[in-house]
Amino acid sequence: MDPLQHIANDAPEHEPETLPSLDEQKAIVAKLKALEEKGELTDEILAQYFAVKQKDASDEEE
């Protein structure tokens, strides 16, 4: 068997991520702007909408 095919067969299967519709994105932006204006926008709230893996110091040491 071709080594690349073997790797592809062993790779975990996952659903491709889909973006919210344009109307859903606009609603999210409006909600976040309102929270920001009230001074209630926190990193935790942002993380709910923008889940990005953060590199920590241990990742840089490897």
Amino acid at 35: L
> Contact 32/40 with Cβ under 8 angstroms?
no
pLDDT at 49: 85
User: Which pair of structure tokens corresponds to residue 21?
Assistant: 């519709």
What's the pTM value of the predicted model, to 2 decimals?
A: 0.55
Rounded CA separation 12/7 (Å): 10
> Contact 41/35 with Cβ under 8 angstroms?
yes
Q: What is the pLDDT of residues 18-61, one digit of tens each?
A: 888 999 999 999 999 999 999 999 999 999 888 765 555 555 55
> Contact 45/35 with Cβ under 8 angstroms?
yes
